[in-house]
Amino acid sequence: MNKRKIGILGLVFVMTFFPKVHAACDYDTQNKLAREAANVQVSYESGMYGTGEFEESEVIDENGNPISYEIEEAKVEAAIYNVTENLSVVVENKVTGEEQTYHYEDTDNGTIKWDLMSFDQIMTYEIRIYANHADCSNELRKMDLVLPKYNYHYTMPYCIGVNSYYCQEWITTEINMSDAEVEKKGYEEQQKTEEIKKNEEEEKQKSFFEKYWMYLIGSFLVILGVAAIVILIKKQRSKVL
């Protein structure tokens, strides 16, 4: 009898204890956390930024003094937005292996920012979002963020007017060519572009003539006829005199 009572009491304990644990991470809670994680956004901005340091150039102003210019460096600013108190974010640099965990108190009103300067590698980050919840601390979302690097070929003479990838200002895939190969391909691209422009101009002229040749010939004949009449009149007047 005692064993039976103990068994019943144990069953009641299991039935009452486990629903409470489950209720702490119920469907509504999971759904709320999933919505907050889905609202997290990542972005980046790239550009050239002044360093605050100046150098004198070879250009001289009207007073004979060398003109100074501010030294610029390539910079990429990355940001993660909309982090809530219910979330934690792990940012892992897949190139360096460095990893950083952020909670809401580490953010600026839910925004995480960092920047890169003077780097010569394309940086790839894995961003993992977790529920900051005792009973729902599972991974909710994973995102990849690729930060581009500045392409020093961009300002070279062989890249002027070239739209190919190896001449873009910012790249997210490494250029698997030597500097000499990039230079050669850049000049070849420029030459092809010039040839295309030349052919297009010739086609325009040809098209114009084909479209208006009747008018052009007609106008020429009219001018020729008028000239002939003028010459004939002059000859007749000279005979009369």
84 contacts: CB under 8 Å, gap ≥ 6? 36, 104, 110
Q: Are 101 and 89 in contact (CB under 8 A)?
A: yes
Q: What angle is formed at CA 231 by the lines to CA 226 and CA 236, rounded to 5 degrees?
A: 125
Predicted local distance difference test score (pLDDT) of residue 188: 94
Nearest-angstrom CA–CA distance, 88 and 92? 13
Q: Are 133 and 29 in contact (CB under 8 A)?
A: yes
Find, among 184, 195, 193, the residue nearest to 156 by Cα: 184
Taking the CB of residue 45, how many other CB atoms lie within 10 A of it?
Answer: 10
Coil/strand/helix, residue 149: strand
Predicted local distance difference test score (pLDDT) of residue 90: 97
- The radius of gyration computed from the CA coordinates of the chain, to the nearest angstrom, equals 37
- What's the pTM value of the predicted model, to 2 decimals? 0.66
Coil/strand/helix, residue 222: helix
Sheet holding 99-102, edge to edge: 99-102, 87-93, 123-131, 139-147
For each successive 10 residues of the chain (241 residues), what is the average pLDDT? 40 36 73 95 91 76 76 90 96 95 96 87 95 86 95 94 94 94 95 85 68 64 71 64 54
- Characterize 186-210 residue by residue with b for buried, 16 or more Cβ atoms within 10 angstroms of its Cβ, and e for exposed: beebbeeeeeeeeeeeeeeeeeeee
Predicted local distance difference test score (pLDDT) of residue 164: 94
